Amino acid sequence: MKGILKCRLIKGVVAKPRVEFESPVDASVLAEVERVGVELSSVIAKRFGRSLAIRELDSGSCGACESEISSTANPIYDVQRFGINFVASPRHADALLVTGPVSKNMLVALKKTFAAIPEPKFVIALGDCAVTGGIFNNSYYTEGAVDRILPVALHIPGCPPTPLDIIKSLLVLLRQK
C-alpha cells in the first residue's frame, strides 16, 4: 500500500479530465437523417406492414461499403428505428443488398442467395464497384457489375456512399414501388 501511495505522489494525477461526448456528425446531417427516416418509416409501414428485411452480401468488395452499411446501424444513424433490419438468412429477407463487383468465386453464392429470397424481392447494388464494376471492371477475376447477373432495382453510387445517401436512396426506391 505504501508503494502505491509513493508512486501516486511521485507521478501525480495521470487521468485526463472527463470530456462530454461530441457527435462526429454535423447537427444538420442528424436532422436530415431524422427527417428522411421518419418518412422512410411511414413508407415502409404502408408498403410492408412491418419492417423491411435486407440481406447484405459482399461479392468481392474492399470493405469500405460494408463499413458504411455498419454505420447505418450504429447509434448515430440507427436505421432499425425506421423499420430496416439486416437479416442473417436470405429466407427472411425482402431485398438483397450487394456490395463489390461480382467476383468469379462469389458468382454461385450470389445466385443461390438471390434464389433463396422469397418473392416479391428486389436487388440493391451499393457502391461504385457493384454499380459499374469500379476499378475491378473488366478484370480477369470478376464478372463485372451486379446488374450483369441479377435484375437490380436500385443503384446507389459512391465509393463508398454515406449512410445518409443509403437511407435517402432506399426512400426514393420505396416511394416508387
95, with CB counted inside 10 A (0-12, 13-18, 19+), is buried
User: How is residue 71 written as a grid cell?
Assistant: 454505420
Side by side, the strands of the sheet bearing 84-86 are 84-86, 52-58, 95-99, 122-126, 152-156
What pTM was estimated for this model as a whole? 0.84
Which residues in the chain come in under a pLDDT of 50?
A: none
pLDDT at 26: 82
pLDDT at 177: 64
Distance, C-alpha 161 to centroid of its chain = 9
82 backbone dihedrals φ, ψ, rounded to 5°: -100, 0
pLDDT at 138: 85
pLDDT at 14: 65
Residues 44-84 have pLDDT tens digits of: 999 999 999 999 999 999 999 999 999 999 988 999 999 99
Under 8 Å between Cβ of 52 and 94 = yes
84 backbone dihedrals φ, ψ, rounded to 5°: -115, 125
